[in-house]
Chains A and B, each alone.
Chain A
Amino acid sequence: MGFSGFRVIKEALTGHRGWGPLWRDPAPRAQYDIVIVGGGGHGLATAYFLAKLYGRHRVAVLEKGWLGGGNIGRNTTIIRSNYLLPGNQPFYELSMQHWERQEQDLNFNSMVSQRGIINLIHSDAQRDSFRRRGNSMMLTGAGARLLDRDALRQMVPFLNYDNARFPIKGGLMQTRAGTARHDGVAWGYARAADRMGVDIIQNCEVTGFRIEGGQVRGVETSRGYIGAGKVGVAVAGSSGRVMAMAGLRLPIESHVLQAFVTEGLKPVIPGVITFGAGHFYISQSDKGGLVFGGDIDGYNSYAQRGNLPVVEDVAEGGMALMPMIGRARLLRSWGGLMDMSMDGSPIIDRTPVEGLYFNGGWCYGGFKATPASGHVFAHLLATDTPHDTATAFRLDRFARGHLIDERGAGAQPNLH
């Protein structure tokens, strides 16, 4: 039975007895057409689109812990399509279009909220480079606005305009950008995929791949061997570990990114604001917490926790930008495992192992990509050809020199 306001009322009046499980907990079958490794946002979205758009229902998603427990459950919930390069922008715009009809497609309110994102401008040179980016956004229909200081001041009067180390000269805004309730995204995909017959198997850790004659046959798991026609890997920060089981080295390092939330406060921050010069970005959740973050800690880590200098650095950036948040209190911090790729852009491609497909390298930007990542990965798994918006995300682009390097930082993951 679907979710709706009427249903909520009906259940309220009848003691909520009619709500069933959001998804089943099936035992793994011996064989699937397609096995997705990773029950995070991307893996669940992939399974959903495989069933929804490509008619593949003999699909399993294997999750080593609880579904949605990876980066989809620990991020700063920002959605946007404000990229520069042609290899990226159409893909993220596809994602944005999915976000815009997410709730209706999934019959689940993941609270997509298009309250806008503003990237602050501090210098003429930065305005020039943002103009180039804004024009890329305009050319893909993503939309963009270049705000001058006055327009910005009207929108967000609480920034430090008058005593700033980095003067605020304006901003590049995408009004369609915003936030979504991260957990709700995972749950929405999981529930919708489950209803189309996808088996979501939690507490099922993949411990190896069975590969015969260069062809993947299935996966070894903590719950036994599971046969598969094709295997798609979407494990975010664990990409290196999982793909190593198939004998593959990746152009990826795993890093930790910390994020933070304050105690609940009445609404103050309208949308998302990013302060590049200070390594700080912020939004406010519907529940009232200020959600913010900054740079990655900068060293290889699988520890899922960071260190104090970055906490201080991020808070300092926040205080420099909007000193009125000083008396808000940090409530929780967490550390996500980022698979930082060598050019800062993702990889969605076949691998040298026949039947084994890889989706990863999302750096710290995977959340906003969730719908499109699922869509194009499903497309690749189902058709063996890349989706039109994802032709650049090839694994061999590094060897061939077709990089998608938005920042121009080169082959050093912690600079992206």
Chain B
Amino acid sequence: MSRLDLSQSRDALIDRNRPLSFTFDGRPYQGFAGDTLASALMANGVQLVGRSFKYHRPRGIFSAGSEEPNALVTLRSGARAEPNTRATMVELFDGLEAGSQNHVGGLKHDLMAVNDLAAPFLSAGFYYKTFMWPRAFWEKLYEPAIRRAAGLGKLSMQADPDSYDRGYLHPDLLVIGAGAAGLMAALTAARAGAEVVLADEDARMGGRLLAEGGLLDGAPATQWVAQVLDELAALPNVRLMPRTTVFGVYDHGIYGAVERVSDHLPTPGTRVRQTLWRITAKRAIMATGATERHIPFADNDRPGVLLSGSLRAYANRWGVTPQARATDPVLIFTNNDDGHRTAQSLLARGVPLAGVVDSRSGARSLGEYTTHAGAMVTGTKGRHGLRRVQIRTADGRDSWIPCGVLGVAGGWNPNVQLASHHRGRPVWDRERLTFLPGPDGPAGLIPAGAACGHGSTIAALADGRRAAQTALAQLDRTATAPALPQAEEEPSAIAALWHVPGKRRAWVDLQNDVTVKDIKLSHQENMRSVEHMKRWTTLGMATDQGKTSNVTALAVMAELTGNGIARTGTTVFRPPYTPVALSVLGGGDTGANFRPRRLTPTHHWAEANGATFVEVGQWMRAQWYAQSGETHWRQSVDREARAVRSAVGLCDVTTLGKIDVQGPDAATFLDRIYANTISTLKPGRVRYGLMLREDGFVYDDGTCACLGDGHYVVTTTTGNAGLVFQRMEFARQCLWPELDVTLISTTDAWAQIAVAGPKSRALLERVVDGVDLSNDAFPFMACAALTVCGGLPARLFRISFSGELAYELAVPARYGHALMERLMERGADLGVTPYGTEALAVLRIEKGHAAGAELNGQTTAAMLGLGRMVSAKKDAIGAVMSRREGLAGDSRRLVGLQPVDPAGKLPAGAHLFAEGVAQGLATDEGWITSACYSPHVESYIALGFLDRGDQRLGEVIRCANPLEGQDIPARVVPAHFVDPEGGRLRD
């Protein structure tokens, strides 16, 4: 097939001066700029483009838009391969590669087409009724076979190489669709000065005006379109967004849209491929047009059968028709006037016309062609492309008409989907035989034009203007209405014909191979509600989301039940309007950039000093510092832990949450936040604090330092820093707003370094400015605001997580790096050693201090051995609920565990059992929370919760780890492996 002769028409929308080469299934073809892949394939006489999902029947191009169910191709190759791409939506570019999909052994000779012979066995829902015996065969035999046969295109299995972006727009008015209604709406609003965004899924704006070949103001409609677009483009308050699909309506006027920025180019180059727009609009106009429906009849699925309006669009906009040979005549089958408009267009373009088969008995020709009034199409022939069509005339006679193309016109369905995204249902209009947007659509979304049943050009133009005026009035803007261009009247009479009765298969859903028979079977089996029918037959679940099949199918079901279409109703329309690539929804924050990383003030220093990092609540913390010669992480960790117990170690603890609490009522406030009492804490002193959730379980722990009257610094665990702050603000604003207290998170403001070990005092004395750090002057749990290194403001806390003499020194965050360097330099002779979170964990397990694994939100204060900290004398969050029977009666206690075999390991996550019992959940007595090798005990040690653990010291129990085939005897010991009296930290 070659191009139609469009020389007489001034509205050709392809550029014959720009030929483009492309391949389909490896064969080279040529098209022109302005073509879609579909129109270019047609121009080259390619009719067979794909195979159906279930029966692998030959399929041709069925539509000219985003509703395409048949012409799915894999576009491009390699990592850019894009399966299931609708050829009708692909703009041709030079070098385009496309391939057909879902066949075995070639598109033309698909071996899977045997499925079609087995079709009687593959009726609706057949798989629910069989494949059950023998039981083991489902996963081994049946399912793998089904899975291989199912699916459409293939993923490349390579990472998407392109980049994506997100954007945000906040217009007064979003106009969705740039057809007659949308353009008129945008023009009206734009001239009134409103900020307007006009989005259209097509590369070229104009909608059906580009496809109809009609006149506006006596000139081709495309000229009017160009003129309006020129005006809009020149206005600063208008943003034109072609290639942009508004795919979803969300709350409060937020619309999701995807702009295909460079899909029309061979590669995106330096640009993004697509952009995800979040458009927050005060009002939106849904001018999304309508989609034509077909009329199922026997063997209506052959290549060459397509929608009549699409046929017209191909002829008018792209100058092509889908015959295999230019001389093949074209036939139209219609139940309404619109089919005749296609006939007129084709005649005008010189296409051989075999006539119009019109199911209405009184139908008349609108031109020089034969009309078979009161006739219907009852069959087709042609293996890979249509050759003949059988019609039954009004008097009941059957005859075969040779033809290569059959355009089917069953009426138009308004594209109401967006109006139903908030679950409002469309309403049936029995005059127009269509569903219209219902009254309960999303707030602020105004349907216009064909999308609400005003499908003729005149009506759409007027309705677009009306919709814009409505929107502007709601936004308190006055608008002078632009004059409407003159257009011809278009007749639109229709008589219901939902399918042609017959015994052979008549397709309703072309992609999923759902026929009228399947719907009848669904009815017969009492799968009669539209949702049951959809799910039983898979109708409407294909990639076209039922755009070409849903309404027809429910009309067929309504006919069977006798309930009528209005009562039968539709299935629910949900986002997205058309399928959207996951890569653009993912927005590009992937790989290492998936989530932010927080870096400590000493991060770069640690990097330079051989640190391996671990993530803790978005922070990257040094896990250990490998020195040369250390080949296993344990060597580094053991060395670091030993250094802390024998000399002095440095650990960046900036990540612990820090909350400054100030105000006359700060002490009262903190008494209610902490389970234990804070108000008795004197300035210059620090206290360990335990926080409960209101439900009585332990939430978090840390220290509370009193820096002065009404001034406290609260620390939290790293992971809970944000949550604790949020809850403290909740307490302050929502529970006790009468208290005069303010909070601020200072986690990022202060760099904090733990200086731990017997030589820590000696080291600190070398950097602190003139403060007596002797044990008497600055004892355990002392704190002070002071200066270091000759005037740098700092805070010093004598607190210890390691159980050694230890301090934490805080300086403004920007000095953290320098402080670390200074401490390393001044402590060199003391054996100062940086240590990471692994050594920190070893040190705290040796001391039995709880951390994340113990504070997992499931533990009580009593389980941690801290039951007595929960004061009964005051009100505090969680105090009352901690006394509930279930919590008070929980007799599990934190214990230490040591393997009976000193060389043995203990795995965290093992469950604890008494020796000799049958191991099961009923006899389960606890679990190991944390375990490590202790270089000081010289064996593995562990912490765990054990039922009545406090009474079972010395008992040998079993640590069961059946997951890894282990059952390890261990002795219950106190949860302090080093310095149980705590003398060292007080020295």
Contacts and interface: CB of A to CB of B under 8 A. Distances in A.
B594 A323 contact: no
Contact of A323 (B529, B590, B884): B590
A139 B921 contact: yes
Contacts of B962: 135, 138-139
A245 interface: no
A23 B146 CA distance: 27
B278 A327 contact: no
Interface of A: 3-5, 7-9, 11-13, 16, 19-25, 65-66, 68-69, 73, 86, 89-90, 101, 103-104, 107-115, 122-125, 127-140, 144-146, 158, 160, 163-166, 181, 183-184, 187-188, 202, 262-268, 278, 284, 286-288, 303-305, 307-308, 311-312, 315-320, 323-334, 397, 399-403, 405, 407-411
Contact of A324 (B160, B538, B884): B160
A320 B590 contact: yes
B594 A278 contact: yes
Could you say which of B120, B575, B592 has the most chain A C-beta atoms within 10 Å of its C-beta?
A: B575
A264 B151 contact: yes
B521 A19 contact: yes
B910 interface: yes
Given A265-B83, A327-B83, A397-B886, A163 B152 contact: no
A338 to B, nearest CB: 17
B81 A140 contact: no
Contacts of A4: 129-130, 132-133
Interface centre among B53, B159, B538, B545 (most CB of A within 10 A): B159
Interface in B865-896: 881, 884-888
A159 B263 CA distance: 26
Given A107-B132, A128-B853, A319-B583, 8 more contacts: A19-B524, A109-B130, A144-B963, A305-B422, A311-B585, A315-B587, A328-B155, A408-B697
Interface string B113-156: 00000001101001111111101001100010011101111111
B569 to A, nearest CB: 11
Contact of B545 (A163, A332, A403): A332
B167 interface: no
A133 B525 CA distance: 44
Contact of A131 (B81, B143, B524, B961): B961
29 contacts: A3-B129, A19-B525, A23-B526, A68-B532, A104-B132, A109-B127, A113-B143, A123-B615, A131-B909, A131-B963, A132-B927, A184-B128, A267-B151, A304-B423, A305-B421, A307-B251, A316-B590, A319-B582, A324-B157, A324-B159, A328-B581, A330-B576, A330-B580, A330-B581, A399-B884, A400-B884, A400-B886, A407-B857, A411-B694
B586 A101 contact: no
A407 B857 CA distance: 7
Interface in B80-121: 80-84, 120-121
Contacts of B159: 160, 323-324, 326
B696 interface: yes
Given A111-B127, A324-B160, A401 B884 contact: yes
Top 4 A-B pairs, shortest CB-CB distance: A408-B857, A131-B909, A401-B886, A288-B151
A258 B398 CA distance: 52
B258 to A, nearest CB: 10
B579 interface: yes
A268 B585 contact: no
B387 interface: no
Contacts of B82: 327
A327 B160 contact: yes
B911 interface: yes
A108 B239 CA distance: 55
Nearest to B255: A308
A302 B71 CA distance: 39
Contacts of A287: 150-151, 538, 541
B911 A132 contact: yes
Contacts of A407: 857
Contacts of B597: 165
B911 A139 contact: yes
Contacts of B881: 401
B793 interface: no
Contacts of B587: 312, 315-316
B852 A125 contact: yes
B532 A66 contact: yes
Nearest to A67: B532
Interface of B: 53, 80-84, 120-121, 123, 126-133, 135, 138-139, 143, 146-148, 150-160, 166, 248, 250-251, 254, 256, 276, 278, 421-423, 517, 521, 524-527, 529, 531-532, 535, 538, 541-543, 545, 572, 574-576, 579-583, 585-587, 589-595, 597, 614-615, 693-697, 699, 852-853, 856-858, 881, 884-888, 907-911, 919-922, 924, 927-931, 960-964
Contacts of A25: 526
B254 A307 contact: yes
B155 A308 contact: no
Contact of A128 (B138, B576, B909): B909
A90 B886 CA distance: 21
B199 to A, nearest CB: 16
A128 B590 contact: no
Nearest to A103: B132
Contacts of B138: 103, 109, 111-113
A320 to B, nearest CB: 4
A129 B856 contact: yes
A311 B579 contact: no
A334 to B, nearest CB: 5
Contacts of A12: 120-121, 123
A312 B581 CA distance: 11
Contacts of A69: 531
B436 to A, nearest CB: 21
A16 B81 CA distance: 42
B84 to A, nearest CB: 5
Nearest to A106: B132
A8 B132 CA distance: 12
Contacts of A146: 963-964
B617 to A, nearest CB: 11
Given A103-B132, A265-B152, A135 B911 contact: yes
B909 A327 contact: no
A403 B594 contact: no
A266 B130 contact: no
Contacts of A114: 139
Contacts of B151: 264-267, 287-288
A267 B147 contact: yes
A16 B581 CA distance: 40
Nearest to B146: A286
A74 B600 CA distance: 44
A402 B886 contact: yes
Contacts of A19: 521, 524-525
A374 to B, nearest CB: 19
A265 B126 CA distance: 22
Contact of A22 (B525, B582, B694): B525
A305 B574 contact: yes
Q: Which of B129, B924, B961 has the most CB of A within 10 A?
A: B129
Given A112-B138, A265-B152, A324-B155, A139 B920 contact: yes
Contact of A327 (B80, B126, B521, B927): B80
Given A166-B594, A267-B148, A325-B155, A410 B697 contact: yes
Contacts of A330: 576, 579-582, 585
Contacts of B853: 125, 128-129
A265 B84 CA distance: 8
B250 to A, nearest CB: 5
A312 B592 contact: no
Contact of B910 (A135, A188, A268, A319): A135
B887 A401 contact: yes
A8 B884 contact: no
Nearest to A405: B858
B782 to A, nearest CB: 32
A400 B887 CA distance: 8
